[in-house]
Amino acid sequence: MLFNSIDFFIFLPVVFCLYWTLRNLRVQNLLIVVASYFFYGWWDWRFLLLILLSTLVDYSVGLGLSATRNPSKRKCLLWLSIIVNLGVLGFFKYYNFFLENFISAFSFFGNEISTSSLNIILPVGISFYTFQTLSYTIDVYREKLAPTKDLVAFSAFVSFFPQLVAGPIERATHLLPQFYSKRTFDCAVASDGMRQILWGLFKKVVIADNCAVIVNEVFSHSSEFSGSTLLLGVLCFSFQIYGDFSGYSDIAIGTSRLFGFDLMQNFAFPYFSRDIAEFWRRWHISLSTWFRDYLYIPLGGSHGKPSARIRNIFIIFVVSGFWHGASWTFIVWGAMNALYFIPLLLTKRNRSNIGTVADGKKLPSFRDVGSILATFCLTSLTWVFFRAESVGSAMRYIGGIFSPSLFSAPEVEIDKLGWYILLFIILEWSGRHQQYAIENVGLSWSRPLRWTMYIGILFFIVSWGGDGNQTFIYFQF
């Protein structure tokens, strides 16, 4: 079920009304489980069995960890959770990738292998809820979290529908305790949630979906276009993927607030970053911090010899790329970001830009503008590999950009899209200190003026949205 669909706008009010009619906490949690399974099963009910499997395995592992102090048994239980979860993820997401590369490797040396790949359908959101449940068992193993005995609350934590299929990837230490506490309806919190949903829909429907029209055309026929058009296609994809994914996160967080839950911020205005390190502190925060805490730091983090630090950075970025998909394009994308990051790490400048850019000022300095544009250009270059069908096509695309035709007029008109993006950048800049761009916009205005703004944004969404019901990019991961 898509957030930007009629189905969801029927589903959400029904669940909302039923939820707040109920008084019992356990019954509320049970309703969340039922609603979440219905929400996910709308795509394919068969994959509900995978969520159920992950839930039961990690719930049982948690109970097992609480019942023993034996280090060997505890480690075996942890590995049981890791093997089951990553095994299921690996089969559905990476089986054909490894099989095809195995065949290619043998064919390279003149050995032909006769085999066939499986027609495996990738379950929506499997990478997200797999990492979420793993955070539970790892934190219980590390004794950072007490294991739960409430199967209903744990099932709700695993399957919570607002963030089930594309995050944020919540930590059990943050989200799970919220299912134990009595929740009361707060009109101010719900209103803020509705504003965030509205802004998320604007980013998805007006920005991302309109950019998608140009991106799909340019990337599908890249050999036919000039360098300037190819450059325009990359820039549009940069705004498409940001509007699409951060828009989903805003809708998920806003929807959660309607039910009295608080989810972590997943995007913190990343395109205003002044270097790549800052970008990765602001982009897909739930995933980058997950890899930091559960992979990077256990490997040694930024401590040790330079060679060890370089190794750790490459591992975390390449694994992050591979998490996104079973393709060499994602691995190259991750490796490029590692190459960008390493000079900052070795010169100890990776934490030079911690605060908000131009903090306390209306406009950035010339130096800030230069740093932001340079970071945006480097990031956009990596997006070519993220979007391309293969590494070869990505290289040809980049080669096409850096050709004499780069200085010609683009062959694709962006029309009103350029004004949408300009408005979007202005609103994002003005709200860069907040959780989302319009969080505080209009709160001090009179009610008629404030509602005029909301209706204006809604008018943009309804009237000037792109192709309706376009799926979210990160559903494929």
pLDDT score for 101: 62
User: Is residue 411 a part of any domain in this protein?
Assistant: yes
160 and 256 inside one domain: no
Distances (CA, A) of 48 to 2, 89, 314, 466: 17, 14, 35, 31
258 and 126 inside one domain: no
Is the torsion defined by CA of 50, 32, 470, 435 positive or negative?
A: negative
424 and 395 inside one domain: yes
User: Is residue 241 a part of any domain in this protein?
Assistant: yes
Which residue in 422, 451, 310, 332 sits closest to 381, CA to CA?
332
398 and 446 inside one domain: yes
Q: How far is Cα 332 from Cα 327, in angstroms, rounded to an integer?
A: 9
User: Is residue 143 a part of any domain in this protein?
Assistant: yes
Chosen domain end from 161, 184, 207 = 184
pLDDT score for 402: 93
364 and 415 inside one domain: yes
Q: Answer left, alpha or beta for residue 285, where phi above 0 means left and psi between -120 and 50 means alpha.
A: alpha
114 and 207 inside one domain: no
Could you tell me the pTM of the whole model? 0.93
Q: What domain count does the chain have?
A: 2
What number of residues does the chain have? 477
17 and 140 inside one domain: yes
User: Is residue 84 a part of any domain in this protein?
Assistant: yes
- DSSP class of 408: S
169 and 233 inside one domain: no
Most distant CA atoms of the chain, gap in Å: 76
Task: Give me the domain span that covers residue 362.
Answer: 188-274+353-476
pLDDT score for 105: 61
Q: How far is Cα 192 from Cα 175, in angstroms, rounded to an integer?
A: 19
pLDDT score for 310: 94
pLDDT along the chain (477 residues), means of 10: 84 96 95 96 87 96 94 95 94 76 59 58 86 96 95 97 91 95 93 95 93 94 93 96 95 97 96 97 96 93 88 95 90 96 92 92 94 97 95 95 91 87 94 94 87 89 69 71
Residues contacting residue 165 through CB under 8 Å, at least 6 positions apart: 40, 124, 125, 128, 475
Chosen domain end from 159, 184, 209 = 184
pLDDT score for 117: 53
Q: DSSP labels for 38-80?
A: HHHHTT-GGGHHHHHHHHHHHHHHHHHHHH---HHHHHHHHHH
- Through-space distance between the first and last CA atoms of the chain, rounded to whole angstroms: 16
Q: How far is Cα 367 from Cα 370, in angstroms, rounded to an integer?
A: 5
Chosen domain end from 117, 151, 184 = 184
398 and 372 inside one domain: yes
- DSSP class of 292: I
Residue 393 C-beta-side C-alpha neighbours within 13 Å: 17
pLDDT score for 179: 96
pLDDT score for 409: 87
For the record, the structure tokens of 218 come out as 């340019």
Q: How far is Cα 197 from Cα 439, in angstroms, rounded to an integer?
A: 11
Q: Answer left, alpha or beta for residue 361, where phi above 0 means left and psi between -120 and 50 means alpha.
A: beta
User: Is residue 215 a part of any domain in this protein?
Assistant: yes
User: Is residue 294 a part of any domain in this protein?
Assistant: no
Determine whether 324 is an active site residue. yes
For the record, the structure tokens of 22 come out as 């109920």
Owner of token pair 């049981």: 80
3-state secondary structure of 418: helix
Q: DSSP labels for 108-171?
A: HTT---------PPPPTTHHHHHHHHHHHHHHHHTTSSPPP--HHHHHHHHH-GGGTTT-----
User: Is residue 249 a part of any domain in this protein?
Assistant: yes
194 and 152 inside one domain: no
pLDDT score for 464: 77
pLDDT score for 469: 56
pLDDT score for 2: 81
391 and 268 inside one domain: yes
pLDDT score for 447: 87
Q: Which of 221, 284, 324, 433 is catalytic?
A: 324
40 and 162 inside one domain: yes
